[in-house]
């Protein structure tokens, strides 16, 4: 069922001929892609049978890695006695290898794209029984290329994954009538189709330090709100004035604010925190595992569409995602029991641009009053609300 409409009849009534035509084209496109992928997998690989050695492949950024964690947990649970290695790239300094709990993989291999062939040659000698691709949004060419690499270059007899997942075709129509599945669910469904029981678990490495231990002891979780102010995509950014203005009603209501961000957010953190002693600036001061600890000890987190947003709900903290409409929010939204998305739909929604060429209305139309009211509503509905 489409999340934008309460019943099927309303959903159908909203669709004009053009929308029906476009949705049918999208369905046909995705069906043909899936069919081709299944045929290629069937031809190239045999079904796995009690694998003793497994190679799991996943690339992507911080957020891409967190949404893959339930899939990793499911694989580990399904094959508790197998040797499981993990393969990723150096594309980003923060990847799954840096955030997962110890003990999930026997070995982690980081492949440098410039030296990919030599690095992959080293893996041939492991003679893996099974290759599992936790799929990124590849096209058909890359999917087929990676299948051929797994089968003939690495010599792995069994493999699955490579779900193409989405198309950018008629993005605005997709947003309204057939938004893509959440990435977490897409991965778990892929595993279920291949005989692995899905588990919605996030095995994130959580660590503290003396400063955080003291902070948690002296501040009530019920009165602590996290602002995750970082983003690497300018089109996703809610300007600093909004964060400053949002902090004011929280502080007036007796809350304290913890600012979370990387080195690149240090200047913003200083500008926001100078306005009140009740705003505590942790930007550039914490590792990912320490940020996870801090988020776990907050009542609520308000975030950009970024890795910290995924980290927040992954540690069980209620999360508000302030999202641009540049892409499909349903792919990256927090699970419904742990989060709310605030997003504005415009004519230019689904542009997939990293930098807005006009006036960034999808973010400027998100006002601090709406975010604050949403936050108080979530806090008030919590079983532990004051």
Is residue 343 within 8 Å of residue 325, measured between CB atoms? yes
Between 33 and 49, the more confident residue is 49
Whether residues 358 and 245 share a domain: the answer is: yes
Question: Over the chain, what is the mean pLDDT?
Answer: 89
Contacts of 53 (CB under 8 A, 6+ apart): 82, 83, 85, 126, 127, 128, 129, 130
**Helix or strand run (H / E) with residue 218:** helix 210-218
User: Which residues pair with residue 259 across a beta bridge?
Assistant: 227, 281
- Give dist(CA 138, CA 110) in Å, integer: 19
SS3 content of the chain, % helix, strand, coil (to 5): 45, 15, 40
Q: Which two tokens stand for residue 235?
A: 């089109």
Between 173 and 245, the more confident residue is 245
Residue 14 lies in a domain: yes
Residue 321 lies in a domain: yes
Residue 199 lies in a domain: no
Considering 164, 193, 222, which residue would you say is the last residue of a domain? 193
Q: Do the strands 224-228 and 300-304 form a parallel or antiparallel pair, or are they unpaired?
A: parallel
Residue 203 lies in a domain: no
Whether residues 53 and 164 share a domain: the answer is: yes
Residue 205 lies in a domain: no
Q: Which domain holds residue 262?
A: 210-381
Whether residues 214 and 320 share a domain: the answer is: yes
Whether residues 48 and 113 share a domain: the answer is: yes
Band (94; pLDDT cuts 50, 70, 90): low
pLDDT of res. 5: 45
pLDDT of res. 223: 94
Residue 204 lies in a domain: no
Give this prediction's pTM.
Answer: 0.88
Whether residues 366 and 233 share a domain: the answer is: yes
Between 4 and 314, the more confident residue is 314
- CATH number for the domain including 286? 3.40.50.2000
Number of Cβ atoms within 10 Å of the Cβ of 330? 19
Half-sphere exposure of 22 (CA within 13 A, CB side): 18
Whether residues 214 and 333 share a domain: the answer is: yes
pLDDT of res. 266: 95
Whether residues 29 and 164 share a domain: the answer is: yes
Residue 253 lies in a domain: yes
Whether 152 shows a pLDDT value over 80: the answer reads yes
- Give dist(CA 53, CA 338) in Å, integer: 35
Whether residues 173 and 248 share a domain: the answer is: no
Half-sphere exposure of 383 (CA within 13 A, CB side): 1
Whether residues 89 and 223 share a domain: the answer is: no
**Based on the structure, what is the number of domains in the chain?**
2
Measuring CA to CA, which residue among 277, 279, 289 is closest to residue 224? 279
List C-alpha distances in Å: 20 to 25, 26, 53, 64, 221: 9, 10, 46, 32, 49
Between 377 and 93, the more confident residue is 377
Residue 2 lies in a domain: no
Considering 141, 160, 193, which residue would you say is the last residue of a domain? 193
pLDDT of res. 371: 98
Q: Which two tokens stand for residue 185?
A: 């669910």
Considering 160, 193, 226, which residue would you say is the last residue of a domain? 193
Whether residues 182 and 242 share a domain: the answer is: no
Whether residues 157 and 225 share a domain: the answer is: no
Measuring CA to CA, which residue among 298, 312, 313, 213 is closest to residue 256? 298
Whether residues 123 and 169 share a domain: the answer is: yes
- CATH number for the domain including 150? 3.40.50
Ranges 56-60, 344-348, 362-366, most confident: 362-366
């Amino acid at each position: 069922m489409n999340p934008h409409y309460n019943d099927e009849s309303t959903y159908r009534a909203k669709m004009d001929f053009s929308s029906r035509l476009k949705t049918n084209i999208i369905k046909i496109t995705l069906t043909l892609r899936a069919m081709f992928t299944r045929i290629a997998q069937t031809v190239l690989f045999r079904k796995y049978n009690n694998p003793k050695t497994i190679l799991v492949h996943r690339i992507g950024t911080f957020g891409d890695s967190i949404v893959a964690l339930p899939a990793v947990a499911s694989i580990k649970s399904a094959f508790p006695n197998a040797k499981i290695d993990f393969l990723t790239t150096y594309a980003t300094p923060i990847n799954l290898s840096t955030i997962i709990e110890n003990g999930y993989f026997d070995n982690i291999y980081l492949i440098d794209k410039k030296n990919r062939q030599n690095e992959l040659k080293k893996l041939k000698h492991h003679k893996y029984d099974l290759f599992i691709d936790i799929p990124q949004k590849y096209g058909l060419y890359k999917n087929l290329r990676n299948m051929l690499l797994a089968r003939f270059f690495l010599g792995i007899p069994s493999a699955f994954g490579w779900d193409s997942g989405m198309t950018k075709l008629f993005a605005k129509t997709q947003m309204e009538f057939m938004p893509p599945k959440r990435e977490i669910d897409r991965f778990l469904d892929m595993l279920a189709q291949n005989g692995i029981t899905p588990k919605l678990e996030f095995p994130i490495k959580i660590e503290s330090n003396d400063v955080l231990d003291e902070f948690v002891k002296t501040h009530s979780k019920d009165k602590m709100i996290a602002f995750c102010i970082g983003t690497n995509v300018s089109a996703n950014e809610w300007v600093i004035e909004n964060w400053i203005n949002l902090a004011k009603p929280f502080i007036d209501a007796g809350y304290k604010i913890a600012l979370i961000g990387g080195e690149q957010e240090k200047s913003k953190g200083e500008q926001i925190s100078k306005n009140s002693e009740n705003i505590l600036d942790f930007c550039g001061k914490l590792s990912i595992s320490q940020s996870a600890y801090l988020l776990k000890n907050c009542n609520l987190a308000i975030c950009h569409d970024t890795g910290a947003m995924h980290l927040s709900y992954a540690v069980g903290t209620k999360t508000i995602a302030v999202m641009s409409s540049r892409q499909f929010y349903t792919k990256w939204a927090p699970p419904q029991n742990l989060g709310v998305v605030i997003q504005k739909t415009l004519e230019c929604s689904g542009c997939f641009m990293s930098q807005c060429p006009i006036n960034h209305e999808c973010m400027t139309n998100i006002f601090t009053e709406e975010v604050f009211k949403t936050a108080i509503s979530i806090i008030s509905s919590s079983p532990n609300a004051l």
